[in-house]
A and B are shown apart, each in its own frame.
Chain A
């Protein structure tokens, strides 16, 4: 279409960027199907949340579910897998199927590849679901050996990951073609952030890929007599920590490149936003030992190195806090907000999508503080594997991320289905229900954790629970039930929205796209180059993980046989 005519040596003036891009029908379908699976997973996964929370307060509803659900632990496996792994991954691949073509103003370069990825991912989910539902894989979402699931569980998980890789390849090709056609043009931040997230995921998942393919799968098939549990924890957390950035960065894509527009503001700094994304790529893998501070098989020196790197990765989040808040302030002032804080009430809190993402940010602030505590490798001794930890990640993945995704869904689902959002006022309330429920739930979990309550434990049947824990387990239950109301409202609003009559195109929400205060062309080129960042990323991983990985692999002793009949 647009031929590039300028051939001067001066950095070419960018080709005029098309004003917008309408997603093709097939792209919309792909977004929709990814998000559909995600929402279903959130719904089913969340059913177990209040059961767990109530159980802690000695209201045991599990006997009623006996024929379907064998135990607390089977439910907890479903809860962790469906919420933390499925809701997130499918929502993210769906969201990026929208952000990447839209930001690049061009269709997916290889839509068949994206379809293939989605299909593999979904088949994987179904494959893993069977053994979980049959109570053949009640190993929780961390599947630590020597608990041994049925082999189809590992096959299914592998397919989910591989499917997401394939969807990623579809994104990379699209991005690469755009790059070739637009030399000298700064890549749109929305697309860059999305692709960086997928590349981060690609690198991060090599840990579980090796774990499953070299240890767990052959072992569950009987080809390997035993595995090395310590080594597998190291593999798992190689993936497990960056996993949280895979969840978080799509929310950041929205906070940086969409939310400012939704509040009539502008992105405060394109350059620093890019810098933050690159730093996440660079820093988020080599921190996994911070989940293994109390593992006997990892030398303290390496735990210490990963602790320091964990502080470093807090930096881009702190940078994000400033840039996003400054962008919001630009909006609040443009809307007439005055004074030091007057811009805050001037923000469009009544827009569900905005409301949710603001509340997400507030809860993330609290979660971030807790994260610093967890990272401090000595203080971690107080909280490791206590209820403090679920308290922490319900503020992060189940709030910062989940509330943001819900907020995104509130414009994205209407956009791709050509509807308007049903009951926007109720949608705002739904966000506040989650917020209040989470404040109660998270406070209670943090507190009972500090008192020593273990996580992953049906406390209602534990013989050692002292009276001092009981106010907090009670509040856990209250918060959990409120949260559950929040999930149900969300699912109903989305469902009714989809089932509505199509709206007039002028009423269907557009994709929000924020401008930056300063033309991105003025962002330095090193913030738009892949090679140096990729090289640095791989180098840091080799330095911070290489020696321990080599040591643990060289000293591998596959002496643990599987245990598959103890739940």
Chain B
């Protein structure tokens, strides 16, 4: 066999497969763009590095020594929530409709989770870290916040309630 007779290796792509590949790339790029727009323009918030704490002392010093809700200004609240096996402190938070509340959550023992029912408020609670998200209370009602990470035997009972009053 002489080299001229040998077909040379080259990337042969079937017409339809090429079309499919382009469509796949366009589709995935669209998803990526959608996420980018949602993240950048619509200001979707994710938990971000906020504050490092020492889980062994966090219950006795710093803002989590007195967990609870504080009113910062009319219609603006912040809540410091301590997670521990197997409850959230405070267990109940009350704010009026139309107000905005910033939630700070940490754990003094193992990992926990925090998801406010029916909202986009969803965060991991990790000892040593503080998770923060802000929630706008549009609709009155009672919302549970549920621990969604396994944290030991009592995990299934761990939840609290946020009450949005009229």
Contacts and interface: CB of A to CB of B under 8 A. Distances in A.
Contact of A229 (B117, B123, B126): B126
Contacts of B151: 147, 566
Nearest to B35: A376
B83 interface: no
B90 interface: no
Nearest to B20: A322
Given A233-B126, A299-B48, A385-B113, A464 B56 contact: no
Nearest to B34: A376
A207 interface: no
A308 B21 CA distance: 18
Given A381-B46, A563-B152, A566-B110, A319 B24 contact: yes
Contacts of B101: none
Counting chain A CB atoms within 10 Å of each CB, the highest count among B7, B44, B85, B148 belongs to B148
B11 A567 contact: no
B47 A294 contact: yes
B7 A522 contact: yes
Contacts, number: 217
A372 B28 CA distance: 9
Contacts of B123: 294, 296
Given A296-B124, A296-B126, A559-B128, A456 B118 contact: no
Q: How big is chain A's contact interface, by range?
A: 35 or more
A385 B56 contact: no
Contact of B49 (A272, A299, A375, A384): A299
Contact of B156 (A13, A326, A458, A525): A458
Interface in A297-313: 297-300, 303-304, 307-308, 311-312
A267 to B, nearest CB: 12
Given A146-B127, A229-B127, A372-B31, A296 B150 contact: no
A11 interface: yes
Interface residues of B, number: 71
Q: What DSSP secondary structure best describes chain B's contact surface?
A: loop
Contact of B157 (A292, A294, A372, A461): A461
Contact of A322 (B17, B111, B153): B17
A24 interface: no
A312 B28 contact: yes
A458 B154 CA distance: 10
Contact of B46 (A76, A377, A523): A377
A10 interface: yes
B32 A308 contact: yes
Contacts of B13: 269, 271-272
Interface of B: 1-3, 6-14, 16-17, 20-21, 24-25, 28-29, 31-32, 34-36, 38-39, 44, 46-50, 52, 54-56, 85, 109-111, 113, 115, 117-118, 120-132, 144, 146-153, 155-157, 159
Shortest Cβ-Cβ A-B pairs, 6 listed: A566-B152, A454-B148, A385-B148, A296-B131, A378-B44, A318-B24
Given A296-B123, A376-B35, 8 more contacts: A144-B111, A311-B28, A318-B24, A377-B35, A378-B120, A381-B120, A384-B115, A459-B156
